[in-house]
Each structure stands twice: as structure tokens, then as C-alpha cells.
Amino acid sequence: MTVLVTGSRGRVGSTLLGLLHSAGIKARAASKDPTDLSPPGGIDTVRCDLADPADFEAALDGVDSVFLYAEPSHIDAFVAQARAAGVQHVVLLSSSSVLAPDAAENPIAASHLAVERALAAAADDGAFEATHLQPGAFASNALQWSWAIRSARAVELPYPGSHGDPIHEKDVAEAAFAVLTAPRLRGSSYLLTGPESLDFTEQLAILAEVTGRATSCAAVTPEQWKASVAASIPESFADALLSYWASHDDRPVPLTRTVEELTGHPARTFAAWATDHADAFRP
């Protein structure tokens, strides 16, 4: 079996490559800039920009399975080339946001939903099997606070009491490894969460305890927060985030045990993630 891992520069993709390599499974690391990749020894690299269909034929040649990031711009071309190459299984890194009633209108969810639907249609046609991983909030989202914490500044949040289900990227990668290597797990959608529903203030408190860095939170208005991120987050995405945070303000989110069911161990806590990334929050 040969597995193409798209987005190999990402935290999930790079971790998955290590798992495949350790298991002796042939993998191919893909990125739009493969020269910037440092995969384990013996793993080939290939250019695969999911926004450039010209890359698809070479990237998919000889591939049996694909770990795919959700880029909708040329998903039909990707599906067609995967079919032509004889790909048997595609595992999509989707998002739990696709389960929301307004997913098609939500700019964050819509891109994942479009890819899910394209893969599902191909699977229905017998092109290949498709499996969707739907994680909630990545614990790594907390890295956006690292500059403020390193600088002993308050983290500015519009909804400090908004809950999330932070999941460790290692758990997502291990879930992907499980569905890639166990045929009985193929063809389903899996909602992945961390083991705890934590609001932002609780996450900051855990970071403070683990890193030894004092943390504080400053409540700002949604308008102030939007203005502060305008250079890096499109307005429609910022509005979607604000809407999500408002809907979960002081409201714990439901959790699943899917990580444990797929991997055989409980999902890692946010404290475990903070320990793994503590240096990012220290001067």
C-alpha cells in the first residue's frame, strides 16, 4: 500500500507520516512546496498544490490511499484523477462544522462540506471508498495566544467563556492512521473531540500552570476583535467565528469517545497538549 499524505507540512500530516513510516507502510509526502518538507528517511516527496490540478496526475500515480485536506477549488478534478489512478480509499480531514444546520452558508464549514459531498458522490459511484474525519476545535488554535503570553500581555477575547473541545493533533493523526490501515473502519464519518469541554479562560489557566507563565484575559467587544484580526482573517470568516463563540458562550459542548474507539486510548487532554508545546509560550 502507498499512502499520499497531502498537507505534509501541517501538524496532522507530518505526524501521520511518522506513524506510517514506523509501521513500515510506504508513504508519499505532498505539499505545494516539497522542498520545505523533512519527512522521515525513505519517504518520497512530491508537489501537490490542491489548488493546482496540474499536480494531481504525478502526485496520485501508483497511490492506493490518500489523506486529503479539504480544498474545494478543484475537488472534481482531484476526484477524477484519483479514479483514473486507481485510488481505493480517500480519508478527508474535514470539520465538525459540517454538522451545523447552516453549514452550507457558513464560510468555514462550506469548504469542508463541498469536499465531503464530492467524495461521497464518487464513493456512491464506486470510484473509491471515502472516510471523513470531523474534528472539532484543534488544541493548536491556542498557539494564536503565544505572542501575548510570551510578552506578558493579556489575551484579548470577545467571548472568554465560550467552550470548545480542544483535540490534540496527535489524536487526529492516530485516528487517520487507524482508518487508513483497518479496512473495517472505511466508509464512515467520525466526529472527533478532545476529552474535555473547556472555555477559553480554563484553557489559559491550564497553559499558565503547565508553562509557568502568568496568563490573563481581557474581554473585548466583537467589533474590537474583528478590527484586531482584519489583516489576517477575512471578514466573513471572522463573523463565522464570532457566531460560533457566541452560541457556545457559557455552554459546554458535547463530547465523543471516537478517538478512543479508533485508537484504543483516551483522547489526550489539553494539559497534555500544553506540555508538548510549552516552549511556544515561553520567551
Residue 129: strand pairing partners: 89
Cα–Cα distance, 190 to 133 (Å, whole number): 5
Query: pLDDT digit string (tens) for 247-270?
Result: 999 999 999 999 999 999 999 999
Give residue-wise pLDDT tens across range 57-75.
Answer: 999 999 999 999 999 999 9
Q: Is-same-fold flag (2-135; 136-168+194-254+268-283)?
A: yes
Domain 2-135 has CATH 3.30.2290.10: no
Separation CA 169–CA 204 (nearest Å): 19
Cell of 120: 461521497
Collapsed DSSP state (helix, strand, coil) of residue 31:
strand
Please state the domain extents for the chain: 2-135, 136-168+194-254+268-283
DSSP string, 89-111: EEEEE--GGGGSTTGGG-HHHHH
Q: What homologous superfamily does CATH list for 136-168+194-254+268-283?
A: NAD(P)-binding Rossmann-like Domain (3.40.50.720)
Note the Cα 240 to chain centre separation in Å.
Answer: 17
Question: What does pTM read for this prediction?
Answer: 0.96
Which pLDDT score is estimated for 118? Answer: 98
End-to-end CA distance of the chain: 44
Per-residue confidence (pLDDT) for residue 41, from 0 to 100:
87
Residues 103-141: pLDDT tens digits?
999 998 999 999 999 999 999 999 999 999 999 999 999
Q: Are 73 and 51 in contact (CB under 8 A)?
A: yes
